[in-house]
Chains A and B, each alone.
Chain A
């Protein structure tokens, strides 16, 4: 299909006896950002390495930019950019030397490669350190240079494998801003992450991956409704009145959760507006003072825990989530 940038059907990959990908399916529409969300060991890196022709799949049909990654690897390589989980830079060379080298290997020609290197250094705020050996770079600078290197040719499809893992909040914000600016240019982005917030912030659609297969996918909003829809949060001025409020508010008492430290009372709702109006009226009538009343969607954390709890198996490595 012409509007499909990445098509994966039944991808399998084993390391010895261990299945890293176990029949994974994925379709990413051209020009969109797709988040692949999963805990450590879910198979994210294996997927990205197969999509970027670094690893040969054991089975399945896998196409990137309309080309088969096994039989047409070179044509795939002309159209992709890769930001791997670990820096893929020549540590002994300077940032500028790295970018010029990659430009030449993309056959831009010597002059064009030089100009492009200068542009990218400028864009990623690395002009001042362009002559320093990468070995002396900080983690954030390295990540930015790595991202610049994956953008040498303005790729059709860009793979970002945990682009912000290990970065401080500022570094993370910089990478997010760069990814957002790419999307305007029509690049298709596949981004893996363990950070639910990151997928929520950047991705149009999300596939939740666990044990080498997709356990759920959809937009962030769609995924959130999977766990049972919206909630209402009521924060009281006086924690002593929480008990009274639970008894009195027009909410199903069995579903109300109470957090005394935050003076918070929270419950799922079906009809958003009716529930909100009912709660406000009941509070006014009873004279219980509220600091805040708000409707909210569940967080992606709640979704993720819900999904992976449904699909639990024994050999999980969950500690990093």
Chain B
């Protein structure tokens, strides 16, 4: 579904990602680990096509179509969607406005908002004075409304309390269980792995992908040994993960 081929991405004057290769198939969500600043968010943003994330080499291919040069909204219309790590607040723009743009089904909007405890947030300015956890729930809410095939999740559970992680995790799992969906998820805490079935994992270190394996095992190993060990075990780079 999503193929990243020899991708190098520059931000500002700095080459952040080098020769990334990664394949994510439909119905097989993947997990991306890696220390702070290693380039995980950069990869997701480059896939979405945000400005400032310049593809210097390689290709991003989605469902057989090269999307390197498409504007963000075109990539969205092809079926990509991202849950932001730090979404901007937009004064005067209400969460419900975006929800109604994403779905005409008012009942569905209300139901999902209820499930994610966001009923009272619908009429508020988006992300303005949302707490960290509310922001994450609002991101998940929007992305489920958007209904993409391929979900890019940037630390969906960071800063969320355990009860809400459970609510979010279940909602996410229900979504990803639908046929034809897939995801690339960044996680530090690993909590999300308790809810979402993910078969492949890889580790990003210093802008390169290292090590592929079973996410749960990898997470345990990273927890015990830190990221240093990942470099040592040095599996073949992300191809066919």
Q: Do A and B come from one complex?
A: no
Binding site for B on A (CB under 8 A): none
